[in-house]
Amino acid sequence: MTSLKNCPAPAKLNLFLHVNGRRADGYHLLQTVFQLVDHGDTLHFTLRDDHLLRRVTAIDGVPEEGDLIIRAARLLQAEVLRRSGALPPGVDIAIDKILPMGGGLGGGSSDAATTLMALNHLWRAGLTREELMALGLPLGADIPFFIFGETAFAEGVGEALQLVTAPDCWYVVIEPGVAVPTAAIFCSEHLTRDTPPVIITDFSSYHENQTDLKGYGRNDLQQVATSLFPPVAEAIEWLSAHGDARMTGSGACVFCAVATQADADAVLQQVPAKWKAWKAQALTRHPLTKML
């Protein structure tokens, strides 16, 4: 096999996100549920006859050398060399980029995770899922989740993952048109860092007894983001008329759950033209696993 085309890199939503504390090294202790949805970027991999790793698609504001895609590929290439003593062939990587940067959807992390999974297959590297997760963690705390590839209850800095069930539903997502830098949210003096920890059974039992898709918990980062970025607050206020609207990740995108695709379409028809909005269905498993 010399190429692997149409590899999905799906978005994630944080169904809730609690900040429980802060470690001595500055990293925040979190609890969240990560939900994959069927909307995201698409990557294409073609082996080269040399050892270069190239991103052949230009992305505004993201130089090739700093892109998580290339950094992930380099990590895996070095690991293959370490294990086998032979450098695997280079790769041209193209991307159909639709997920916004600074949106809280995990786009860059998802792209990196798809790169690791696809190249592990193309290079016949033989790393396990757990080994790929460990390899990707230094690049970003969300990357292990995308490689884990299933709905997950996450703790720690986001890397301690347990399988959990979540509602089989649709989501309406609004992109408010601003990019929210994660560091600005976590560094804010107004961020509360003392939400009491919950346990996975709290989340599971809540959803087993809910039929209206009301959300569990809250997003502790939302108050800071909405105060710094008014368009986020405006989108949440508008979407709240249609469900339990909340922000995902550190922002800027906001979402609410609805029961059916028809319900999602009905909301989308009313979204003000100034915002980009889309619908997505909850996924129980990363779609790339079916291809590999």
Nearest-angstrom CA–CA distance, 227 and 203: 28
Q: Which of 12, 41, 67, 97 is catalytic?
A: 12
Q: Which of 41, 67, 111, 142 is catalytic?
A: 142
Structural tokens at position 110? 């998802």
Angle 165-37-262 from CA coordinates, rounded to 5°: 95
Nearest-angstrom CA–CA distance, 120 and 118: 5
HSE, side-chain direction, 13 A CA sphere, residue 194: 2
**Prior bond of 141 cis (ω within 30°):** no
218: how many CB neighbours lie within 10 A of its CB?
15
Q: What is the DSSP string of 131-198?
A: HHHHHHGGG-TTHHHHHH-B-EEEETTTTEEEE------EEEEEE-S----HHHHHT-TT----PPP-
154: how many CB neighbours lie within 10 A of its CB?
23
Nearest-angstrom CA–CA distance, 115 and 110: 8
| 59 class by beta-carbon count within 10 Å (0-12 exposed, 13-18 middle, 19+ buried) | middle
12 in catalytic set: yes
106: how many CB neighbours lie within 10 A of its CB?
28
Enzyme catalytic residues: 12, 142
